[in-house]
Amino acid sequence: MMIKALPNYAYLALLILYLGFNAAHGADLDGIFSNGERYHASYTIEAKKRPNEPATKLLTINVELASGQKLSYSYDAPDYPAVQSSPLGFISVIVNQGGMEGSRIYNYLFLSDNKLVSAGEVETFLHLGDIEDIKIRKNNRIQKSSIRRLISSVAGRSAKEISNHENAYPNAMLFLLGKSYNEDMDIGAAVGLLENTEIKADPVLLARLKSSFCE
């Protein structure tokens, strides 16, 4: 039996469908960085496969400041990242991999010396969906003073903003990351996170926060 050739529009539809699985455009973001600069951002996620290596997702974020300056940042993530504009002055990139027995990676982008940079990463390892361990990876290419300014800006917000259920976990990880750069950094606002319902029910994170900010 002969198979009829597909019409041209069908080939185009298949091509678009194929590209859709390999590259995705995320929603545009608008926000204000911790230094007061307004920005508009867009991002793409492209699936990458290299021989003999695990597949990754290349995230590229393009930012245009109100001043007209254009910046970009690329991040090779182990799985599809969720990108959000935080009302606390940074762009968060959160990667979930492996489900309830996997891990969650928190990455924070902010302005430093007119560049879009990462403050570092915090990875939480999960068991049955609960945090079992926390690993911090600092970005040693940025100055501690830049981190101090970012953390001080976030810590200066109200306890309600810092500890509400939408922001509590990313903010908790950011404070732990900031503390890793300087043990003497005063982040009194982090204590408010201890009253968040979800964090109070997460013994590993709760203990880590208490040991970092309550001693």
Model confidence over 86-117: pLDDT tens digits?
A: 999 999 999 999 988 999 999 999 999 889 99
CA-wise closest residue to 31 among 81, 71, 90, 74: 90
What's the pLDDT band for 5 if we cut at 50, 70, 90? very low
3-state secondary structure of 197: helix
Parse the chain into domains and list their residue ranges: 25-213
Q: Which residues pair with 103 in a beta bridge?
A: 97, 125
3-state secondary structure of 140: coil
pLDDT at 76: 93
Q: Rounded distance, CA 146 to CA 70, Å?
A: 20
Q: Write down the number of H helices and E strands in the chain.
A: 6, 10
Q: To 10 degrees, what angle do helices 168-181 and 203-213 make? A: 40
Q: Count CA atoms within 13 Å of residue 128 on its CB side.
A: 1
pTM comes to: 0.85
